[in-house]
Every structure is written in C-alpha cells, then in structure tokens.
Amino acid sequence: AGTGAVGSTAQGKLRELSISVTDFGAKGDGITNDTAAILLAKAYAIANLPCRLIFPKGTYKIDSSTGNWAYKGLTLEGVGSRGSILKFTYAGQAFLIDAFQPGFTGNDATAPFIYRMNLRGLVFEGNSATTDIIFGRGIAQSIWTDVLAREANTTTGIGFNLQGCMLNTFTQVSCTVNQDAMASVPNNGLRLGAGTRNGSSIGNSTNNTFINCYAEGNAI
C-alpha cells in the first residue's frame, strides 16, 4: 500500500528474493542423486541474475560435474553451521569457479574477471579422489562467509585452490580437522597464488582480506 504502489503476485515477490534448489526437485537427503535438479536450478539462476540460490538444510549428493559457476551476481547460500552440505562423489575438481576457463563464455563479457560470485553458509565435501574441493580463478570483489571445505586426496588434494583472485573478503572460511574430522585430509588446506591461462599469467592473488579463517592439510 502507499502512493504510487503497484500490485504484484506472491510468486513474483519470492522470485525477487531467492530461489531454492528444492524448487527444482533436489531432495538433500544424502541418498538421492541431486545433480540434475541442481543443474536446473543453476540454469534458472544464471538466466535471472543477480540471483540468490538457496540450499536448505540437508546433504546434496552430486555424482558428476555441475560445470563452471563463474557468473557475476550469483550467490549460493546455505543455512550455515554445517547444515547445508554439497557432497561430491566423483573424482577430480569438485566445485569450479573459473573466469579464465578456455572456451567459457558465461562470465561478464566486459571484464576478464568474475565479480560478486558469493558463497555463504555452505559445506563443500569431496572424497579421496578429489583434486580441488573448490577451484577458483579470476575471482574479484566477492564475499565468502562461513564456507567449509573438507575431504580430498591426501597426496594431491587442495581444499581451496585460488589463482589470480583479488579484492575478495573471506570470513570464517576453513579447511581444518580442528573443526571437522576428515577420513581423507587434503594435502593442502589453501593454495593462494598467481594464475595462468594457456601459459600466460593472469596476475597474482592480491588485496584479499581474511577474517577468522583457518586452513591446514597433510603438508602442514
């Protein structure tokens, strides 16, 4: 109500706020393969950016790659306190945010980096065949809060592999057995450094802010 106000539907107002992976059939029961449902939710979210994609409390089993999540204005959000778990059961990189992936055209066409790709209140869980739990390249001006990475290959695995990432804020981001027991502890909790694409440098990781973060692995 009010001068100049116009009518809208409840559905329309909800879409302005967020969408949930459960709207597309994800169960989050730790047993059902939620890959297809998450891909449907992802497609809707990136078609309606900026968008907040919600993972309600549960364990979401993912048995194959969900592709590159490097989209400007995309926020993935769980309930925090280890209540929303993305459980990756396949080998290799579990979760990919790569603005410089060869052939990828989903990032903002006006800039080589991906801006404002935010993560909140989520657990990313790999397995003994995981190389990188989260691989991020060319991420800028993004905010990650209450994000946990756990379970990867004990010899080669990395919790957070961040390359050429700049001007980001990480708060309570961790990969540590001090907070969560792991059957397969990554070799490195965090690797932060320069990035390359096709042999050419995209720059160092600089001007990032870390607040109450903790990272460890077998190499430490």
Which pTM value belongs to this model? 0.91
Note the pLDDT of residue 68.
96
Note the pLDDT of residue 97.
96
3-state secondary structure of 75: strand
Spatial CB neighbours of 123, under 8 Å, sequence gap ≥ 6: 78, 82, 84, 85, 86, 147, 148, 149, 150
Note the pLDDT of residue 201.
78
pLDDT by residue, tens only, the chain of 220 residues: 567 666 767 666 555 668 999 999 999 999 999 999 999 999 999 999 999 999 999 999 999 999 999 999 999 999 998 999 999 999 999 999 999 888 887 776 566 789 999 999 999 999 999 999 999 999 999 999 999 999 999 999 999 999 999 999 999 999 998 888 899 999 999 999 998 776 777 889 999 999 999 999 886 5
> In the chain, what is the greatest distance between 2 CA atoms, to the nearest angstrom?
64
Note the pLDDT of residue 14.
55
- E-strand ranges in 66-156 read 74-77, 84-88, 95-98, 114-115, 118-125, 132-137, 139-140, 143-150
